[in-house]
Structure 1
């Protein structure tokens, strides 16, 4: 998955780096510097969606400067120079770059989700990644339609690019928060039939084992274990005499501050 994530991140980094270099003097050192910074952040953090998101934000900054009413009033000469450089630059005036960043943002989200499922369930991540392709095609078609509608209504490219970018950023943030949102408390509950073994909960900080004893069940048919965590568990495993198995959340609920996860093992399992 590292190679797959890098294949998604690299085009976004290249587009942003080349856009800055082309708009501000064509200096290759600027493109190299921006590219090295973004690539370094990706290698350190490992998040494809985070890197593409940062690339998109950096790409939108010159648009914000060019369309800023404050700069137009406070610094008219500087604003005119920036606007001319940005809106006339091929990387900033081409809809292809915008559409590419939109597609890469969606792919990056699926790449991160696929990696998480690969670690949690042991399934090949590339299979999940393939499911992103119809979504990417749909996003590109919608974006192309918006561009065509804007031109049909005689709206300049510069007037619709920034709202599209802001919409894209909002969608990416909202989508990523579903899986990777942070909560004040995380409660993981595991229901298992009486048995001897242990439940292993994996987080970024390590593993936490909770022993299971058949004798503690007394007359009950189900043992319920609850563990409070600081973050969403990456994987929950059940170990007993029959071996080891990975558990999938049966119920997920949240009130915005506390995330509740219920894992259940059937007697037949």
Structure 2
């Protein structure tokens, strides 16, 4: 019976995997243990709490951060933004991916050029436009910015449209279907995996966005999940136990969203690799 030869490359792979897992899992661990701590449990952020049945931090976080109001405002922004992204993304991707017309390459180049422009360089102009439109200090400001200033949905849908056989369009045209009917009855239903991917990416992006709500919605009534956490941070100190409790509450919708839509994402990833 021969022993396996020692492979340093294989050992190095496991070391990197362990380090990567630690980097990914350590921050959630810190948030979890500190969310259940009392103010009198010391200053060590890595120690376990005295009890995982201490829910007073969560109750105080919900009341002081106005979590339910923040969820409501965030839900309005997410829903309206996703509807706009889906309609705009699928229609533009359908036109660019299926129809040949003059200036098509210019439009694609313009979308690509827009993605490489640093956002910070356009903030003065964007803020002036939002003020001129009368959208400052309203939910319409982030909705307009999330729909119009981000073209990632177009590229996501373009990649999926390329995998849809053009013969489906030709068959529908032979039956007298218009371009809009082809889009509505054939193309749009087949873009389900791309839509699920877009929903998760955009929802997480809106959830994590802090700069736009702080800049364009300073009113207390327009609080969203990202700005609600700021109520526990002052100029000199932060109440980390309440912040961690609020973070855990805010994480629940995104986790549920991923669990419900993960099968569509996986099918979307594999559909591009299977032919036939």
User: Structure with the greater relative contact order (CA < 8 A, sep ≥ 6): 1 or 2?
Assistant: 2
Name the structure with the higher strand share.
1
Which has the larger helix fraction? 2
Q: TM-score interval w.r.t. the shorter chain?
A: under 0.3
Give the TM-score normalised by the residue count of structure 1.
0.27
